[in-house]
Structure 1
Amino acid sequence: MSNEQENTKKEALITIRTLLESGENEELLKFINDELYAADLAEFAYDLSLEENISLLNLLDELMAVDMLKDMETGLQEKILAAYDPETIARRFIDWMDSDDAVDILNQMNIELRDKVIAHMTDLEASRNIVSLLQYREDVAGGLMAKELIKVNINWTVSQCTDEIRSQAENVTKVYSTYVVDDQEKLVGIVSLKDIILANARTKVEKIYSDEVISVNTYTPAEEVAQMMRKYDMVVLPVVDTLGRLIGRITIDDVVDFIKEEADKDYQLMSGLAEDVEITDRVWILSRARLPWLLIGLLGGIASSRVIGLYEGELGAFPQMAFFMPLVAAMGGNAGVQSSAIIVQGLANNTLGSTNILPKLGKEFTVALLNGLICAALILGYNLIVGNSQALALTVSIALLSAIVFASLLGMIIPLLLNKFQIDPAIATGPFITTTNDLLGLGIYFSIGALLL
């Protein structure tokens, strides 16, 4: 964010706070409508107190309030909604949301509160849609989709089609596509608004629709949905049940939200966080998320000290070896993390593939070998220049080359094994691989030292 944008944000925040405190509600609403979007208000929410956020939401119209709330992070949403009773949550927020956004909010609540909120909804059809969506996990197509869409029957005329579109569009925020179904509600194709407008009013839909439509099943993994929409450059994707009946649609904003959440989770795993947390969470939750990997690091450190202890005699005879212990361990750890990051990236974007994987792994091994040789040559030259013994120089160089190669191999293998057993391979780029490679590097270093010195 540039300094100018940062200053503009601060000025807007000061204005909101000032108008809230003075009770100048009309001026505040005018300022918001003229200058800000709901996404801006959601960003400001982290700088406002809980009472200020609630006051602001109560002032906004329903649509703006809903947009502001759904753009917030989960933790803040929970705190704000805790201030409202179930009836207010239902009629002030849930009733005005698309079904997929409403389900995201309701999934944060305990079952008792969720049922009370649904019971207070005024739109019975919307409540039925929400109940049907709650059965799906968040990581499948059914958990991403919204029930609101526009569909027409293949046997209708364009005139009937136009009337039905007008009727259905009242419940659809954004019209991306018009889907064509048969008498059994099975998805058979898609028809563009252009073709509907240009066609004769008495023309049947079957004459103008296209049967080239890509769809997914309700239990298609969300990652596969994201890859499909990226591959085919789609902004909306229809969802069908096991019988092929059209039951929902997934829009690009839902996929972007999922990708962001997955990226956040992977980043946290790579950083050594055991669960999904936010800065607004309580101290104990933040501590609980960090402690497991810190304890693993602690055990790794103890194991490293034991490895060093096994070679106490060599260290006593050649104390210069201690100078290069951090170097070998760190370089091995870095090489392992680099290799595992490439493999995890390939698994995530499906570029690694399930066939012809050996040439790609061979290429990664070649890169590790080349980098190891370059680093080993550099450290050999350094040791010779500063006057260290040839035996020590060779020991450090060979150990460094070996540590980089073996750590890279470990960095390639571990993510593939984790992925095979349905465990998030992003774990392999975090403290786990670093600690493992530290042990590996030290073991290699002292083993070579015992042979050469």
Structure 2
Amino acid sequence: MQFQISTELIEKIQFLIEERNDEELLLHLEEVHHADIAEIITELSLDDATYLVRLLDSGKTSEAIMELEEGVRERILETLSAKEIADELVEMDTDDAADIMNELSPELQKQVISEIKDEQHAEDIVELLRYPEDSAGGLMAKELVKVNENWSVTGCMTEMRAQAENVTRVHSIYVVDDKNRLKGRLSLKDLLTAASNENIRDVYIPNVDYVTVHTEGEEVARIMQKYDLEAIPVIDEMRRLVGRITIDDIVDFIKEEAERDYQMAAGISEGVEADDNIFKQTRARLPWLLIGMFGGLGAAGIISGFQGSMAVFPKLLLFVPLIQATAGNVGVQSSAIVVQGLANGSLKGNIIAKRLFKEISLALVNGISIAIIVFIISSVWFETSYTESLSVGVALISVILLAAMIGTVIPIILDKNNIDPAVATGPFITTSNDVFGILTYFLIAKAILGF
């Protein structure tokens, strides 16, 4: 039966904490999974959550801490001493420990590192901190199983047992030479069926996919997805094996990137959480709102320039919201497809030209379809004249074509200039299409109606 977090359970834990009944509290949570511990911690007050983290064994709380939302985790870490944080890091894989360290101030990082008794673990964490968080070096863990090509099968088995004690999951066995340079990988089946006096060089598989410490996270994700890998080795500039990235690490990275791109597309310029303070949320949202404001003022300025003509053809104003909404929607749709294609690597070379042609073709079909419907409705329902309805229909087709081109081209241009194309979606595309859409609408109306 799946464990369920209930109000009664939280109240029970709160009561036990208040009574300082540690024995019953430990008994109550003994068999609870670390992910459920994290959910319980989230439901508690900061004082109660900190008490629980200090009470439980670091082997369980270290994993629970990694499951917490970043904002909750940061608040709990602020209440712990450098030694208490170090105790948690010792129980974590090096990649998780480095992630925690990145959330601490430089001064606290030094204090925590000095409290870690395992010097090798501390050195590995410090090494990972040198790399950008979104690079292979920043994503990798130092824990892995590797064997030397010159070892015998018997000696290899002994060494693997010793190394596996520090590795949570053994996804792959890597083969290196005497200088720790990656040579290939070792199949467990081949190892078990090989003669005990054979050398590893006679049974290992030389073909192995790998990335370098400087490979971007998006590229790592693409390679692992393309070749269906559960783990991938990471090498340095001298081809020395320095770590590995596992599927759970890359899934977390993809999730964070998706959340960031989603916020960017919605007009939020930096990563924020729902419980962040008002100042941080305002700083993240206000820039895009200001862009939208200036876009709206630009559209208002265009309309004011045709104010005299509106007195003669007042019904044209009825369709301004339609023009703006349609332009914005088409632009966002086109840019979303292009951004997705750029992210997963499916848009390359001549495919970009094909994508633009396809978007224009789609825009033309959609524009004609919408224009016919609007032409009929405007004539019957709004009782507009033939020429006015024609102006709206032709403008819709033109605006949809323009919006599709903007939505397709802008993300590609940004990507070519090493700017995240996600910034092109949402308010940016919507605002630009609003302005150009209104201008196109009135210019076409002027040409057809002759005002």
Bin for the TM-score computed over the shorter chain: over 0.9
Could you tell which deviates more after superposition, 346-355 or 121-130? 346-355
SS in 1 for 2:42: coil
Instruction: Specify the alignment match of 1:197 in structure 2.
Output: 192
- Matched to 1:278, the amino acid is E
Work out which of the residue numbers 386, 391, 401 in structure 2 matches 1:395. Answer: 391
CA distance in 2, matches of 1:83, 1:283: 22
For residue 415 of structure 2, what is the aligned residue in structure 1?
419
For 1:19 and 1:51, the matched residues in 2 are separated by 13
Residue 292 (structure 1) aligned with residue 290 (structure 2): no
- For structure 2, list consecutive stretches of 5 or more residues without a partner in the other structure: none
Aligned to 2:447: 451
Q: For residue 431 of structure 2, what is the amino acid of its counterpart?
A: T
For 1:400 and 1:55, locate their aligned partners in 2 and report how far apart those are by CA, in whole Å: 62
1:313 paired residue number: 308
1:73 aligns with 2:69: yes
| Distance (whole Å) between structure 2 residues aligned to residue 26 and residue 230 of structure 1 | 46
> After superposition, what is the alpha-carbon deviation per residue over 1:84-124, rounded to whole angstroms, capped at 9, x for unaligned?
1212211x211111110011011111211111111111100
Q: Which runs of 5+ in 1 are unaligned?
A: none
Structure 2 contact 5–40 (Cα < 8 Å) conserved? no
47-56 vs 199-208, which moves further: 199-208
| Structure 1 position 220, deviation (Å) | 0.8
Matched position secondary structure for 1:273:
coil
Give the 5 Å matches for 1:41-440. 41-90=37-86, 92-386=87-381, 387-440=383-436
Letter in 1 for 2:387: A
Aligned-residue CA RMSD in angstroms? 1.7
CA deviations over 1:283-317 (Å, ceiling 9, x no partner): 21111111111111111111111111111011111
Q: Does the alignment pair 1:20 with 2:17?
A: yes
CA deviation after TM superposition for structure 1 residue 261, in Å: 0.7
TM-aligned CA deviation for residue 268 of structure 1: 0.4
Please say if residues 76 and 280 of structure 1, whose CA atoms lie closer than 8 Å, have aligned partners that are also in contact: no
- Give 1:279 shift: 1.5
CA distance in 1, matches of 2:15, 2:312: 72
Structure 1 counterpart of 2:27? 30
Per-residue CA distance 1:160-204 (angstroms, 9 max, x = gap) = 111111111121111111111111111111112333233332221
Determine helix, strand or coil for the equivalent of 1:45.
helix
Cα deviation, 1:389-439, whole Å, max 9, x if unaligned, reads 111111111111111110111000110111111111111111011111111
TM-score, structure 2 as length reference: 0.96
CA distance in 1, matches of 2:256, 2:7: 27
Change (3 A) 1:425 1:167: same
How far apart in 1 are the matches of 2:151 and 2:297?
74
Q: Name the CA distance, whole Å, in 2 between partners of 1:404 and 1:29.
A: 63
SS of the residue 1:171 aligns to = coil
